[in-house]
Structure 1
């Protein structure tokens, strides 16, 4: 009886994302003649902060897979990402998400041109908000160290300041960006552009919280 019961149990191994397969996708893509994710986001997931390409290391696998699905289904518009996301099956999205989520986070960008005063203002807005103008603290959802909350509120610490500023400005202008963006439209509508710049500079300067720990 015991052996029969054990044999009847379904195997979930095939449902488990494979970071090794994800590494191959990141390195070589899935179609001949097309580059992989690493062409822009790099194999270490650091992105390219100087041109606003976001880092992926540090994001949760759930968030990366969610965004890939949004790109593939046109729920998030991006002329660069949509074609690549559409090449991937749902399983391949899970695999490449698992690969990048498992990477150690690179250190914050070097040669940060932002001044101490700008980062100090960014820290104030991130941690305390600007209640006089109806701006809530970013850390309320993204965590006091920018560690995020899975797919709901992504990990931000060390993210590219140009990329963050671009996203904040889009939300401030009322663009949802993706199905999760309505909250950010509400959160940023009263933010001054100077504060968006400050928050972006501060977040980029944050070290990886709990390096090697929970994401």
Structure 2
């Protein structure tokens, strides 16, 4: 149920939009991101539950403005009003991370894996910093600019890294990800995505 604000305007019903759309063209978020915001592994749809509110809002605004390109999200975000985008960001940021997303991969990747080395140590010969230097311990995320990598489907992480590498995505701060992705091979991308997808969200005491 929508709630009236002090100026008589109604606060959008985020739960209704998530399950039914907004009635003006935006599809239900749950159709791609799951009933509990955990994402879909095979299709590469990202987890939204528990992500930083400001990060989620920036991505929705970027989709709406065209600053971030995606054939599914752009038309959906454009049909959401400013208030609806704000409501959806708040809704998903407050949602607990589903159990299924807390450890997506039943076969943990060992710490001597190439993906682990990139994630935890980087490759300084290529001026490539460790992913955790920006994205936090085990990739749990840091604020609005460095989202969680842990608990995201590997296919989603692969698609985003390739997007930056190919110039299809460019809404990162200071073009940091464009620089990082340019130094990654296809094998690097597969390995590091698999490693983050295999990490439990509460790895070594870390929480989102």
Match of 1:31? 23
Residue in 1 that maps onto 2:155: 162
Q: Distance in 1 between matches of 2:15 and 2:6?
A: 17
Where does the alignment leave 5 or more consecutive residues of structure 2 unmatched?
Answer: none
| Contact in 2 for aligned 1:75/1:179 (Cα 8 Å) | no
Cα pair distance change 1:173/1:157, threshold 3 Å = same
Q: Identify which range, 63-72 or 83-92, moves more after superposition.
A: 83-92
Question: How far apart are the structure 1 equivalents of 2:74 and 2:169?
Answer: 17
Q: Which string of whole-angstrom CA distances, capped at 9 and with x for unpartnered residues, describes residues 92-132 of structure 1?
A: 111111111111112222456xx746982212111110112
Give me the CA root mean square deviation.
2.7
Match of 2:199 among 177, 185, 206: 206
Give the aligned partner of residue 125 of structure 1.
118
Whether the aligned pair in 2 keeps the contact of 1:50 and 1:162 (CA below 8 Å) is yes
**Residue of structure 2 equivalent to 1:7:** none
Larger radius of gyration: 1
* Alpha-carbon offset, residue 137 of structure 1: 0.4
**Structure 2 CA distance for aligned equivalents of residues 173 and 33 of structure 1:** 30
In the alignment, what sits opposite 1:86?
A: 78
How many angstroms apart in 2 are the aligned matches of 1:121 and 1:31?
46
Moved more, 169-178 or 36-45: 169-178
Partner of 1:97: 89
TM-score, normalised by the number of residues in structure 2: 0.83
The verdict on how the C-alpha distance between 1:51 and 1:70 changes in structure 2, with shifts beyond 3 A counting, is same
Distance change in 2, residues 1:172/1:179 (3 Å): closer
Which one of the candidate residues 32, 47, 65 is aligned to 1:40? Answer: 32
Q: Deviations over 1:143-180 (max 9, x none)?
A: 02212122111111110101101111222234443254
**3-state secondary structure, aligned to 2:37:** coil
Q: Under a length normalisation based on structure 1, what TM-score does the superposition of the two structures give?
A: 0.81
1:109 maps onto 2:104 in alignment: yes
Instruction: Tell which deviates more after alignment, 164-173 or 28-37.
Output: 28-37
Paired position in structure 2 for 1:177: 170
> Are positions 1:52 and 2:44 aligned together?
yes
In structure 1, C-alpha distance between the alignment counterparts of 2:144 and 2:156, rounded to whole Å: 18
